[in-house]
Amino acid sequence: MEEANPTWLNPGMPISIERMMIVTEAQQSRRLPRRQRNEPMEEEEPQEEEEQQHIPPHNTLDMIQMQEAIGRLSQQYMRIQERQEEYHSQYMKHQQEQEEWQLKIMNQQREFESKFFVMQEEHAFQSHESFGKLAQMQAENMRAFKEFTTLQDARYEVQADYNINSQIKLNYIGEHLHNMDPTFPTFDEFFKGKSEIEVSKAMRLEDRVEETMNRVGF
């Protein structure tokens, strides 16, 4: 009897022409008696043997069909291989496009970060420069104010001294001029006529001082 599970028909093993051409020992032992049985018949019925020669053997038909099936399987396998290669090519192309897109995004991000850092540094530099200029302007204003107040104090002191001296002179003249020449008016009479003029001068002086202080920002 033939083997229940011959090695050349194990499931999972690839089919090849070499394996399909293998003939088991059981098949060979089965073919030998058939040939022996055919020998007497050849002597008795030569005509039937000639007719059977034109009929292809059953094993040959099976082998042709199996070879055709193998050819169809090979073609199907080749088509599957081509599709698989096409899918793999498309996958690699898509993968490359995705990597290029990610690289482009990363380059854009690095460029944006670089520009942002440059702008931030420029803004910090400008802010620092503006703050420095503002501090310098404040220092200059304070220095100008101190100079102004110093000059103003000195001016007031000089003016006070001048006023005191002038008042002394006026008192002296007012007291003695009328005695020297009765045609000159007394001090009270002279002050009454000139007081409005002096008050107007003093008010104009105060206005100039206030205007100067407003101009320097105080």
Check whether residue 99 and residue 46 sit in a common domain: yes
Residue 127 lies in a domain: no
Q: Has residue 211 got a pLDDT over 80? A: yes
Q: So what's the pLDDT on residue 3?
A: 47
Tell whether 39 and 87 lie within a shared domain: yes
Q: What distance in Å separates the CA atoms of residue 69 and residue 160, rounded to the nearest whole number?
A: 133
Lowest mean pLDDT among 12-16, 58-62, 88-92, 168-172: 12-16
pLDDT at 62: 77
- Residue 6 falls in which region: left (phi positive, over 0), alpha (psi -120 to 50) or beta: beta
Q: Tell me the per-residue pLDDT of 172-210, one tens digit each, with 9 for 90 and over.
A: 776 776 677 777 777 677 777 777 777 788 888 888 888
Give the pLDDT of residue 27.
52
- Answer whether residue 117 is part of any domain: no
Digit-coded pLDDT (tens) for 82-107: 999 999 989 999 889 989 999 989 98
- Per the structure, how many domains does the chain have? 2
pLDDT at 163 exceeding the cut of 60: yes
Same domain, 94 and 158: no
Of 3, 48, 49, 11, the residue nearest 27 (C-alpha): 3
Domain boundary, last residue among 92, 110, 128: 110
Q: How far apart are CA 124 and CA 120, in angstroms?
A: 6
Average pLDDT of the chain? 73
Range of the domain at 157: 138-215
27 shares its domain with 73: yes
Radius of gyration of the chain (CA): 65
Note whether 104 and 19 are same-domain residues: yes
In a domain, 174, yes or no: yes
My answer on whether 90 and 172 are in the same domain is no
Q: Rounded to whole angstroms, how far apart are CA atoms 138 and 129? A: 14
Query: Would you say residue 120 lies in a domain?
Result: no
Per-residue pLDDT at 126 exceeds 80: yes
Say if 126 falls within a structural domain.
no
What pTM did the predictor assign?
A: 0.30
Token couple for 150: 């110093």
pLDDT band of 35, cuts 50, 70, 90: very low
Q: Is 119 a member of any domain? A: no
